[in-house]
Amino acid sequence: MQAVAALMRRPPPLPAYTRSKRAGGGTMSYELLIEQREPIDGWTVCTICLNLDRTTAVQRKRWQCTDCGVDSSNGSQRTLKDYLTENSSETIESNLAQWSNVKGARAAYKMLRSARYKCLLTLGKRLRAEPAGP
């Protein structure tokens, strides 16, 4: 819930929620990975807004989220593979459930972040070779 609290204090700028023309906005990056057009190695996930970034700069501590603007100073980013290794499907599902119950978030952002959780769930299951579920 810490991430959610941080989010409520400082919501990311509005243009990021609307389906922008920017590459990497919305869930485009996730679509590339879910369709297996890109390997998950070399991607970084922002644990605040769940934006994906095609970078491994996280390892060099010079990363900043292009979506919500947090930087690596408070450890708010993980490589995608680390994130999926550290967070089980159960964890991601419960995060998604908590997020769905958050009051006061903008509807568009709420939908976007929920969609990102679902993508992470799919990618995590694939990584662990779990059945895709119902």
Among residues 40, 46, 119, 121, the one that binds Zn ion under rule CB under 5 A: 46
The nearest distance, CB 64 to Zn ion, in angstroms, is 9
121 binds Zn ion (CB under 5 A): no
Q: Give the nearer residue to Zn ion in terms of CB position, either 66 or 125.
A: 66
Contact between 16 and Zn ion per CB under 5 A: no
Options 33, 65, 92, 121; binder of Zn ion; rule CB under 5 A: 65
Tokens 């908590």 correspond to what residue? 98
Q: Is 68 in the site for Zn ion (CB under 5 A)?
A: yes
Tokens in use for 116?
């990102």
**φ/ψ bin of 19: left (φ > 0), alpha (ψ from -120 to 50), beta (otherwise):** beta
CB nearer Zn ion, residue 51 or residue 72: 51
Q: Where are the alpha helices (DSSP H) in the chain?
A: 2-9, 28-34, 80-86, 89-100, 107-127
C-beta closer to Zn ion: residue 52 or 123: 52
**Distance from C-alpha of 59 to C-alpha of 79, rounded to nearest angstrom:** 8
> Minimal distance in Å, beta carbon 33 to Zn ion?
17
Is 49 one of the binding residues for Zn ion (CB under 5 A)? yes
Question: Measured between alpha carbons, how far is residue 72 from residues 16, 47, 54, 121 in Å?
Answer: 19, 11, 15, 24
Q: Which residues bind Zn ion (CB under 5 A)?
A: 46, 48-49, 51, 65, 67-68
